[in-house]
Amino acid sequence: MATKVYRIAVIGGDGIGPEVTESSLKVLDRVAGKYGFLFDFRKYLAGGCAYDVYGDPFPDETLKGCRGSDAVLLGAVGGPKWDRLDPSLRPERALLGLRKGLGLYANLRPAIMFKELSDASPLKNVKETDILIVRELTGGIYFGDHGRSRSDELLSDGSPKGVVAYDTESYSEGEISRILREGFRFAMGRRKKLTVVDKANVLESSRLWRETAEKMSSEFPEVEVDYLYVDNCSMQLISRPSTFDVIVTSNMFGDILSDEAGMITGSIGMLPSASLGTPGTPGLYEPVHGSAPDIAGTGKANPMASILSAAMLLRWSLGETIAADNIENAVRKTLEGGYRTFDIADPKCDNRKIMKTDEITDIILSKL
Ligand code: IPM
Ligand code: MG
* pLDDT confidence bin for 64, thresholds 50/70/90: very high
How many angstroms is it from 288 CA to the middle of ligand 2? 8
Percent of the chain at pLDDT exceeding 70: 100
Beta bridge partners of 149: 164
List, as own/partner pairs, every contact residues 49-55 make where C-beta atoms lie below 8 angstroms and the sequence separation is at least 24, other chains included: 49/12, 49/13, 49/14, 50/94, 51/82, 51/85, 51/89, 51/91, 55/89
Q: Is it the case that residue 1 has pLDDT exceeding 80?
A: no
Q: Is it the case that residue 301 has pLDDT exceeding 90?
A: yes
Q: Please indicate whether residue 255 is annotated as part of the active site.
A: yes
* pLDDT confidence bin for 120, thresholds 50/70/90: confident
Pick the catalytic residue: 6, 44, 142, 339? 142
From CA 111, how far away is CA 109, in angstroms rounded? 6
Indicate the burial class of 324 (C-beta count within 10 angstroms; 0-12, 13-18, 19 or more): buried
Q: Please indicate whether residue 199 is annotated as part of the active site.
A: yes
Order of strands, sheet of 283-287, starting from the edge strand that comes earlier in the sequence: 37-43, 4-13, 71-76, 283-287, 272-276, 106-112, 130-136, 246-249, 193-198, 224-229
Residue whose CA lies nearest to ligand 1 atom number 4: 255
* pLDDT confidence bin for 115, thresholds 50/70/90: confident
Residue whose CA lies nearest to ligand 1 atom number 10: 255
Q: Please indicate whether residue 145 is annotated as part of the active site.
A: no
Pick the catalytic residue: 6, 44, 198, 199? 199
| Domains (range + CATH), the chain | 1-103+281-368 (3.40.718.10), 110-140+172-266 (3.40.718.10)
Average pLDDT of 70-78? 98
* pLDDT confidence bin for 268, thresholds 50/70/90: confident
Residue whose CA lies nearest to ligand 1 atom number 11: 255
Pocket lining for ligand 1, CB < 6 angstroms: 92, 95, 255
192-211 tens-digit pLDDT: 999 999 999 999 999 999 99
Mutate to test the pocket of ligand 1, among 11, 88, 95 (most ligand atoms within 8 A of CB): 95
- pLDDT for position 348: 85
Mutate to test the pocket of ligand 1, among 137, 255, 275 (most ligand atoms within 8 A of CB): 255
> CB–CB of 310/92 below 8 Å?
no
* pLDDT confidence bin for 126, thresholds 50/70/90: confident
Phi, psi dihedral angles at 57 (to 5 degrees): -70, -15
11-40 tens-digit pLDDT: 999 999 999 999 999 999 999 999 999 999
Pick the catalytic residue: 40, 52, 60, 231? 231
- pLDDT for position 69: 98
Nearest ligand for residue 143 CA? 1
Residue whose CA lies nearest to ligand 1 atom number 12: 255
How many angstroms is it from 257 CA to the middle of ligand 2? 9
228-240 tens-digit pLDDT: 999 999 999 999 9
Nearest ligand for residue 287 CA? 1
Q: Are strands 106-112 and 272-276 parallel, antiparallel or unpaired?
A: antiparallel
From CA 368, how far away is CA 30, in angstroms rounded? 8
- pLDDT for position 349: 86
Q: Which residue has the higher pLDDT, 168 or 128?
A: 168
Pick the catalytic residue: 227, 259, 362, 367? 259
Q: Taking the chain, what is the end-to-end CA distance rounded to the nearest angstrom?
A: 25
Average pLDDT of 216-226? 98
Q: Please indicate whether residue 231 is annotated as part of the active site.
A: yes
Displacement of CA 227 from its chain's centroid (Å): 23
Q: CA-CA-CA-CA torsion for 52, 58, 61, 65, nearest 10 degrees?
A: 120
Q: Which atom of ligand 1 is nearest to the CA of 99?
A: 12
Among the listed residues 320, 263, 251, 325, the one whose alpha carbon sits nearest the alpha carbon of residue 288: 263
Q: Which atom of ligand 1 is nearest to the CA of 258?
A: 10
Residue whose CA lies nearest to ligand 1 atom number 1: 255
Q: Which residue has the higher pLDDT, 269 or 206?
A: 206
Average pLDDT of 275-297? 96
Residue whose CA lies nearest to ligand 1 atom number 8: 255
Q: What is the mean pLDDT of the chain?
A: 96
> Hey, which of 18-22, 110-114, 341-345 has the most confident mean pLDDT?
18-22
How many angstroms is it from 262 CA to the middle of ligand 2? 10
Q: Which atom of ligand 1 is nearest to the CA of 137?
A: 12
- pLDDT for position 125: 82
* pLDDT confidence bin for 51, thresholds 50/70/90: very high
Q: Which atom of ligand 1 is nearest to the CA of 107?
A: 9
Mutate to test the pocket of ligand 1, among 14, 85, 92, 309 (most ligand atoms within 8 A of CB): 92
Q: Is it the case that residue 327 has pLDDT exceeding 80?
A: yes
- pLDDT for position 171: 98
